[in-house]
């Protein structure tokens, strides 16, 4: 069973003016579509073809002969999560258990945002910034290229794509402005809270 390119969960123009429809369409229809199609080519006719995306990632992680599989499967997983991490109704502040856990583990929501920004800006080259659960504690991390928390025994709650394709059309080299706009205007706290509930 080949993997399919799931449609964007919302209108590509709905995140404007913070992320343009042009960026969203390119990002989904070209970048993600290529990862899905490459993954299907790489696993076709192999034992991996019958596995779930998570099983494929865990099988390929750390296997030098499966770097291509890991990269394309990881990018498919990361983007499937990424779309839901953003919302036109996002931004503002978290509430309930999520807010309590962020305050307990980072000191405050603002302190979380500062740590997250530092990770997103500190990721040299392509990659991702994350809010994860690691051994029962909330943590900010960053990964290179397609790497993801699943491959490190962590549970992802939120991710941000900091590959240049995610922001260059709208922000050129200003990655900091892109990260700030997502944290202030687009972060889908409701989705992050649901992920925390599932992780518990």
Residues near Mn ion (CB under 5 A) are 161, 163
Give whichever of 103 and 126 is closer to Mn ion, judged by the CB atom.
126
Is there a contact between 66 and 43 (Cβ–Cβ < 8 Å)? no
User: Between β-strands 127-134 and 155-161, what pairing exists: parallel, antiparallel or unpaired?
Assistant: antiparallel
Give whichever of 79 and 101 is closer to Mn ion, judged by the CB atom.
79
Smallest gap, in angstroms, from Cβ of residue 126 to Mn ion? 9
Give whichever of 31 and 139 is closer to Mn ion, judged by the CB atom.
31
User: In whole angstroms, what is the distance from residue 94 CA to residue 117 CA?
Assistant: 17
- Neighbour tally for 76: CB within 10 Å: 23
Smallest gap, in angstroms, from Cβ of residue 165 to Mn ion? 5
Cα radius of gyration (the chain): 17
Give whichever of 147 and 196 is closer to Mn ion, judged by the CB atom.
147
User: In whole angstroms, what is the distance from residue 159 CA to residue 83 CA?
Assistant: 9
The 8-class DSSP code of residue 6 comes to P
Smallest gap, in angstroms, from Cβ of residue 85 to Mn ion? 12
Is there a contact between 42 and 57 (Cβ–Cβ < 8 Å)? no
Q: How far is CA 17 from the centre of its chain?
A: 20
Smallest gap, in angstroms, from Cβ of residue 162 to Mn ion? 9
Q: Please give the residue whose beta carbon sits closest to Mn ion in the complex.
A: 161
Smallest gap, in angstroms, from Cβ of residue 161 to Mn ion? 4
Give whichever of 163 and 189 is closer to Mn ion, judged by the CB atom.
163
Cβ contacts of 42 within 8 Å, gap of 6 or more? 68, 69, 72
């Amino acid at each position: 069973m080949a993997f399919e390119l799931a449609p964007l969960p919302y209108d590509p123009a709905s995140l404007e003016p913070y992320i343009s429809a042009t960026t969203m369409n390119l990002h989904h229809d070209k970048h993600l579509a290529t990862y899905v199609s490459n993954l299907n080519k790489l696993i076709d006719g192999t034992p991996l073809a019958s596995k779930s995306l998570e099983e494929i990632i865990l099988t390929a992680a750390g296997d030098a002969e499966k770097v291509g599989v890991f990269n394309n499967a990881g990018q498919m997983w990361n983007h499937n999560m990424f779309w839901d991490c953003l919302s036109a109704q996002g931004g503002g502040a978290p509430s309930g258990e999520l807010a309590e856990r962020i305050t307990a583990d980072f000191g405050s929501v603002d302190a979380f945002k500062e740590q997250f920004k530092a990770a997103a800006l500190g990721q040299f080259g392509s990659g991702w910034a994350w809010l994860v659960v690691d051994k029962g504690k909330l943590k900010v991390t960053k990964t290179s290229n397609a790497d993801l928390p699943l491959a490190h025994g962590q549970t992802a709650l939120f991710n941000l794509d900091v590959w240049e394709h995610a922001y260059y059309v709208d922000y050129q080299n200003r990655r900091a402005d892109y990260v700030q706009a997502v944290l202030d205007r687009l972060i889908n706290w409701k989705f992050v809270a649901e992920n925390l509930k599932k992780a518990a």
